[in-house]
Structure 1
């Protein structure tokens, strides 16, 4: 069934894109997806507000980093999970590092993606709630009509979306209709993560996953119904201006303005989501905790073990994961620093 296949493929995109949160959900939008850069178009006062929000955040800019501790070395590339021709320069930069590496560490490797695809094929309840209240019942008729129109624009019949789990609907709303078309064939239209995985396999470099295949399904456990509903509401600004949000995230990534993507989403939700400021703040804290902080903390062990094992053989490792995991007090770079690693910009 085409829709079931769409869910599986879009869920694979979510595994790689979840780190971009509820506002710029997957940093979606390849070059052919038209849109305008909303950060670039900000009035001076709002741009100054964004700059103040980013100021003081550890490691707010840049996608290439190096972490060293003793003989161990990690070459880090913050990635963008969907296709863009500008990835060619990054692949060319990282290919020699991968060729000499002891391992490439990514969020989800080929084995994890295969396991996810198979599990979704056998157990649709991971994505669909067959027994609980429907989304129209949870949101009410007026809000549901807005959500239903948005999901139908993304190729999902509203009657089917009404039974989807709220976290998936929030993720879906962050994908532009253009990106949904691209998600139909992720294998043929690879983002940066897959391109680097191909480089590793071409050089017989092991590809290691930073987290299990089922991580996505554990991120939102324990949320209250109200929190789940607000997660959908917070995603609606991105749905209304999907191509613009896609272009905004894309251009910020290639400028290296990584934390600005997150802060722009937060400030825009405060202005345009219709949620009270307290509800937006709660959603931001929840998203940062579950989509980034918890995962970042869980990655430090695998990164360290792989780097030390490679160092024993005189090799570094390469780590490639979503760029939004880099900045912040609980970003990967600061967490590595707290464990005694020395962080420098743009490893060679």
Structure 2
């Protein structure tokens, strides 16, 4: 697995982690012109590569779609204000995980500790080389997670924790006020029904089929980029508010090419596998849910921004289903 996974994971999965005042640097302006040209060409080659807010129409059906950023940010205030009247006019709000799904997820984690922790088999210190475990224990300690607890965490969950800079960990679990949550609150205030695009336990299923070695590789990859975590976080944030979030995916690809032992073919294969698992498969499952809602009246849909673009992105899928798609001012 490659660093693009962790760079983008918190954009494509529903989350409640607020973006603390970290001191990272946006990497995009620092890239050589040649690298930016390669990334922009890759982004331009896919359908609907840029934009966070769209309208899709088919006959009398109207669907507004917004790509969200799950972290808190004061810039969400003005965006939410512009979206409010459109949400208020909708018959249904669709989100990745509504309040009911979030409560069921909490209940599931309390009932099933094996969802997040290793309850059988080797612990992480037993699966990692000694030096790698020591590096991991130190990185988790910096995030307020003691080594004894980290040793029994599911590898994919450890990778997610490593993808959050230590400066942001104090906000973890405190109820981030990202755009998703603001949209939900506006719908509830307007008494608009909030429905989920997918089952509450989808996030677990994404990793259930991942081979144990692949999950360990994901930890090692994330550790290797640990000293740049704040920079990658800053880059992702800037890209989102520039409505150009797809560059983060291609930035991850370019960085992965330079990793020891990597080949273009292996990186591209890993990227394709991860895009299919984290985005495309979910996008295809969401389309019937969106169509069912839109048949009943105006629908507002909010989900992680990376789901919008691509050959099997939500917008391209809707176009193939007969919708006319247009970008709106965000």
CA contact (8 A) 1:29 1:247 kept: no
190, 200, 206: which one pairs with 1:219?
206
Residue of structure 1 equivalent to 2:7: 23
Please state whether the residue corresponding to 1:65 is helix, strand or coil: strand
Q: CA deviation at 1:127?
A: 0.6
Q: CA deviation at 1:347?
A: 7.2
Residue of structure 1 equivalent to 2:115: 126
CA contact (8 A) 1:54 1:60 kept: yes
Distance 1:279 1:58 in 2: 24
Q: Could you give the per-residue CA deviations for residues 248-302 of structure 1, whole angstroms, max 9, x where no partner exists?
A: 0000000011211111122223324x45235533432232111111111110011
Distance 1:184 1:287 in 2: 26
86, 109, 116: which one pairs with 1:97?
86
Please say if 1:81 is aligned against 2:70. Answer: yes
Aligned length: 321
- Bigger mean CA offset, 247-256 vs 259-268: 259-268
Please state whether the residue corresponding to 2:74 is helix, strand or coil: coil
Distance 2:192 2:18 in 1: 30
Note the 1:132-147 alignment, pairs <5 A: 132-147=121-136
Note the 1:123-272 alignment, pairs <5 A: 123-186=112-175, 189-272=176-259
Please state whether the residue corresponding to 1:67 is helix, strand or coil: strand
Residue of structure 2 equivalent to 1:37: 26
304, 321, 326: which one pairs with 2:308?
326
61, 66, 71: which one pairs with 2:50?
61
Distance 1:344 1:190 in 2: 28
Distance 2:207 2:132 in 1: 22
Q: CA deviation at 1:29?
A: 6.5
Q: Which runs of 5+ in 1 are unaligned?
A: 1-19, 311-315
CA contact (8 A) 2:97 2:197 kept: yes
Distance 1:21 1:331 in 2: 17
Please say if 1:342 is aligned against 2:324. Answer: yes
Distance 1:102 1:234 in 2: 44
> What is the TM-score of this pair, normalised by structure 2?
0.92
